[in-house]
Structure 1
Amino acid sequence: MPKTILTIVLLLVCYFLHAQDIYNHQLPVVSSEILIKTPACTSEKPDLPSPVVSYGNREFVLFKTAENKYTWIDVTVENGEIFDYRQGLYGKGNQLKADGENFPHFARTGVHTTEELADAKTITGLSVAKITVDARPWGSSGVGFVAADETIMSVIWADNQTVEKLGLTHPDVARPLFHFWNAMHYLEQYNSEKEQDSRLQLTSFFYNKYEIRFKVQGSRGWQESIFNDEILGTGHLELWRELSVEEQRFLEEKYMHLPADQMKQLKKELSYLHTGEMVLFYINRYGFYEGHNEYRVDPVTVAALFGFKSIEELHQIVNGDLYSYFVTHFTENPE
């Protein structure tokens, strides 16, 4: 085998071995040459999976435009230029960074151990007690990052157990959210250089077997992080998809005892997310999804929304009671 080809093969092997360390959910591999990439579009929906990873280790997701055309956007999760609202810097930020100083096992494998969490007394130099105070409602924000009866460690521990039951890692859960965020980052940069009538307008994207719609809205100022880090938030991200007829039928049969308002809430929990960009970085860096508030990114919701697991599988994973799973606060701390 020629030396150049051997080098390429070895690099690919090293990449996929590293990816396996942090991702349990592997992406299909394709040649980037067959992808119609932005700003180019095609009128027919490509007969390819989405997302995919190319031979050049770039990640792509298929998007649909307002003109019912299709285009692939490079959404690779990576550490990019600085992302800091205070300094007016809008790079991709440190998307691969994990807190290895406080959580070495988590940084190596993408999941925590109970012992690691039980031993944690500080995170980024702040005591977990102080972080909890700041995270509760009316601490560092009105809504808060956890519910009043939750602690920072009780939330991280509970979500870590759920992610393990899903057969995923925390980077697995963060990746589709970063894919979306990176596409919006590309869109903003592209459109900033175009006249109004030539800007790219996107309406939805395809992830595994689902079409997902979205809405992005900014706000005045920014939210400071509860951790001693650079993570800030100012955006409102909404993502949703329609539940299939089969999914709705399953829920209505298994949860026929629920009153109408609770059934409506359950369906929404499985098909809709409202969050901010801070949580994407929190998941990958600490395994923190926020507690029970309106910005929470529940790993079960992510698994349903992005097609990691079927609703039937999720029903089994949470012991046959999805509704109780979603509404029950995390009040037990790791011991």
Structure 2
Amino acid sequence: MKVNRLTDDHSVQDSTFLAVAVPRKRRRKSPLMFLLVILGVCVSTYYSIHAKSFQWENKGVEPRTSVAEAPLGGVFNIQLSAREDSLLARGISGRSFEINLTSGEINQLGLDSADAQLMIRNHRGPIVIASGNTDKYQVRFNLRSRTPQVLVPQLTEVTAACLMNNGEFIAIACRRDRSGVADHQDVFTVDILSTLSGELVKTVECPQIIFDIACDPETQTLYSATQFGLYAIEAGADTVKQVDSRSFRSVEIVAASRLLIAGHFNGETSAISMDTFEDLWITAVSKYGAIKALVCDPTGTIIATGGESSIVTLLDVSTGRTILALDQRGSAVNDLTFSSDGRLLFIARTDATVTATDVNSGATMHSISL
């Protein structure tokens, strides 16, 4: 191994810490420096005498991401097509794109409505939830984009959605604008409708805005993540009940293990038993803030997490142990999705980039910027 010889002059260093640590040639002290030292001693002595009236103020530090975010949040949603030869991405201002994973070609989707609000996973291909122009729900198949669409009523903002009963029904968490009503208070609901006819089956009001929602396939119970707790809507119930009072940002259900994986606002990820509602493990994934994205691999053994940090973490579902941390020096993470074989993890970020990462090696296979 070749070692470079150190120079005699250490006045310029690449590292600030090295510049302080390396001794320099002695220089003659000036009278001004001597006076400054005396002044410093006097000030220090004064504050030592009056220490009882002097206190440091300890303020909390708000978590921050390490990079500047792209305007309007970059890529919000990604979902693989049924054949997995393309990726649907929901971008800025509701615009949706189809990314050809073979050629890298990007085409904007032609939607019948103005804006796409959300995309959800489905084994027959993704479902696009978009803004409608009537006061009722509509379900249609868009021939131009070859994509099923659910159009929501006017003045309705969709915050989360999931499928129920093997795709026969869809649960949509909404915020309805009531600016024209006397009390001016928004209404938060979970609407359950048929994916075949679009008929609204039931509406359940929720006291808080819902950030994410998941369905237990065994009991058909819906679990809603809010800043003020985890709420459950049991099958056949017309009201919600709180089952956990912590702040929840995202939820994912691992049916085979009877676990609810939760992402919290404080950067923690926890596994909760759906039978006892006890924590089986808690892992501090990020120190930068909320866990916005959770997705389980096809085997049900790995959970991928991402959020306000640039790091994507793969955790063991049964223990919460960190398997792999992917730091691609990008921006915050908005969404995650696995390929059907579990080999690739697609990551959507706030800087409008989408990457495909090999889960085993952590290497980036593809990177596309919208």
Tell me the TM-score range normalised by the shorter chain. under 0.3
Point out the structure with the larger strand share: 2
Q: Indicate the structure (1 or 2) with the bigger Cα radius of gyration.
A: 2
Ranked by relative contact order (alpha carbons within 8 Å, sequence separation 6 or more), the top structure is: 1
Point out the structure with the larger helix share: 1
With structure 1 as the length reference, what TM-score do the two structures score? 0.25
